[in-house]
A and B are shown apart, each in its own frame.
Chain A
């Protein structure tokens, strides 16, 4: 690699990757806003206390695994092992979808236990959970869509594209939403 990267520009990080890093900072600020609002609220008397349904733990396993398969699919892509890559990226999509489904299950289970997320008799503690986890879920959905685009691109036979930048961008994003979830989970357990 050192052979060709001795001119000025080639040392720089790819602009699309860089844009993603800035976007990640931006997304972090949004969740920082929400979680600090949550902290302020949690000091109020009527902030409901309840424990998180187990679904959120199971979903954590799913998203952690998906990060592993994401990592491997990038590796196989770079090694040009097409079939392995296709398999791994499909598994990542499936794991991501399982994560999303389990989050929804988590909310349903809260509702079944009489903890209203919205509307009459809802408590800000539960509504916050919906907003914060839901918003994270939307970011995961965005990631799934990006993964699907990558997946279908790998079937196009006409152009053999070995440019790994798009996949790297998606992979950075995917690891980010994973880490973000871990942060949110710890945060939500800690501050009750």
Chain B
């Protein structure tokens, strides 16, 4: 049985494989900063790439808010800046508007809040907090980043093609996505969109596999699953949700590619084209099929975005309240419940597709059930800070802000989850308000919290607190002022994804409100620049971190040197004694 011996010895060797790197550091600039396999460098790459995308996606929202707030005014400089396709005569054009909202949604959901959030914190925290020297497969980890990077380049280039980027919404429903003739954005912009997204899915799968294998296999001695920090648990569940749901999206995309390019009839049927006046040759396809495949990922995707945020917030709230997290097991249990239930609710996005009412009631039931674990988590966060001796650092404020917007947005989820109510609210601004608060703002806040908190670990320096406070207060006030009024617009029936509301008598009442929202958007967006300046300035000129454990945390990443080298730990850890 000598082979078994070799096999088993090899496991030890794998755990050890990066230990040796610390001794011989023959790394060139390229292997150290570009094609790095060190999880900490990859984490920074994800973070900075995510930030670039956040700026691009955010600027897009500034542009379309300009249109929504000031539909009657013209801004000649816009045409000079963007060209005729986007802003003929100083007005954002309709095609430009749809392109902007689509790419804004795609980029923020997938590039910023999926890759940017998970990629940054899973890479930084999983190995450091479980006491591993690196990921299970550093190579796959590096590949995952580069797939993401290339996906980004392709998405970016789609913005510059002659017929514009894809413009059918981030959900990419056919026929707009399946039929090149359906709209300008359905042409080569859509080809690039789908290639980019396919590469993005590959990137997510590679990293998800790696995260799961790392958490289950590379924990240091004594780090049992019940001792894992909630950050690691949340990133672990996120990875599970990802590897089980992204492949279904991929299969939906494959069928879409066949319909687009090879004339099949999965989604397309003999619909009439206004451009040609003739029916398509396709027969029997159903766009609803795509919606099922899409939302089977699409709903879990929102939890892929919010679960890591929940983990980060749990950790930061507890550290800055100087108290252990309240109800650790309940926290893990509720994340497990979310991970399971999230696969059973996708059709709540499809209540108005003619779904069988009985099925609709089942999906309503499961949807409302998700509120339970969510409520348990909220309760535990509040009891964690209850009577703590709280330090209101910027990261703590953002974590509290997360809880606040998560509650505000979660409550409206209960409205939308009722199929009867949703028939009225579907695809209105109520929906926009719901998901921006519960997911968009919440997860971005958690990401800020995480960056402020772990910045000393990433760069060995501190970010400026004063700028952090300004950033927080304007962001949270801005977020509420932007999204709260949208609830009223949605209740009044104002649909989403319309280019110009001023031509409807019934929505004229909102023109002042829309102007107000847009102005707040401009202010809030500008404030984010403060964060970016703070971030980059502090990388080089921030106050040097002198303490090994600046926040008084109990997790392992603060037992490494202030700036850990490749391999993280100087010697093997045994947490069965220490913690």
Contacts and interface: CB of A to CB of B under 8 A. Distances in A.
A141 to B, nearest CB: 16
Nearest to B262: A118
A19 B136 contact: yes
A164 B210 contact: no
A118 B258 CA distance: 8
Contact of A127 (B1, B221, B264, B289): B264
B225 to A, nearest CB: 13
- DSSP class of A's interface residues: helix, strand, loop or mixed? helix
A165 B285 contact: no
Interface in B234-287: 243-248, 250-252, 254-255, 258, 262-266, 281, 283-286
Among A3, A31, A33, which residue has the most Cβ atoms of chain B within 10 A? A33
A3 B8 CA distance: 11
Contact of A1 (B4, B137, B218, B289): B4
B252 A19 contact: no
Interface stretch (A8-16, A96-104, A144-152): A8-16
Interface stretch (A20-28, A59-67, A170-178, A182-190): A20-28
Contact of B251 (A8, A37, A124): A37
A41 interface: yes
A128 B243 CA distance: 23
B264 A30 contact: no
A121 B262 CA distance: 11
Interface string A159-173: 000111100000000
Nearest to B9: A4
Contacts of B296: 33
Contacts of A128: 266
Contact of B217 (A13, A41, A121): A13
Interface string A30-71: 111110010011001111000000000000000000000000
A120 interface: yes
Nearest to A162: B6
B11 A46 contact: no
Contacts of B216: 18
A3 B255 CA distance: 52
B289 A37 contact: yes
Contacts of B137: 15-16, 19
Contact of A34 (B11, B209, B251, B286): B251
B280 to A, nearest CB: 11
A131 interface: yes
Nearest to A124: B265
Contacts of B265: 122-124, 127
A78 B246 CA distance: 37
Contacts of A121: 281
A157 to B, nearest CB: 19
B263 A9 contact: no
Contacts, number: 151
A94 interface: no
Interface residues of A, number: 49
Interface in B462-519: none
A191 interface: no
Given A15-B136, A33-B248, A78-B3, A9 B15 contact: yes
Contacts of A164: 3, 6-7
A119 interface: yes
Contact of B266 (A18, A45, A124): A124
Contacts of B258: 118, 127, 130-131
B108 interface: no
Given A4-B5, A5-B8, A22 B285 contact: no
A40 B251 contact: no
Contacts of B244: 25-26, 29
A118 B213 contact: no
A50 to B, nearest CB: 16
B217 A37 contact: no
A41 B268 CA distance: 13
B340 interface: no
B205 interface: yes
B112 interface: no
A118 B243 contact: no
A27 B4 contact: no
B365 to A, nearest CB: 21
A135 B254 contact: yes
A23 B244 CA distance: 9
B250 A30 contact: yes
Interface of A: 1, 3-5, 8-10, 12-16, 18-19, 22-23, 25-27, 29-34, 37, 40-41, 44-47, 78, 118-124, 127-128, 130-131, 135, 162-165
22 contacts: A9-B15, A10-B12, A14-B14, A18-B213, A22-B209, A22-B213, A22-B243, A26-B246, A33-B252, A34-B251, A37-B293, A44-B284, A44-B286, A45-B284, A119-B264, A120-B281, A123-B265, A127-B264, A130-B258, A162-B3, A163-B10, A164-B6
Given A14-B11, A119-B262, A121-B281, 11 more contacts: A12-B11, A18-B136, A23-B243, A27-B247, A30-B251, A33-B248, A118-B262, A128-B266, A163-B7, A164-B3, A165-B10
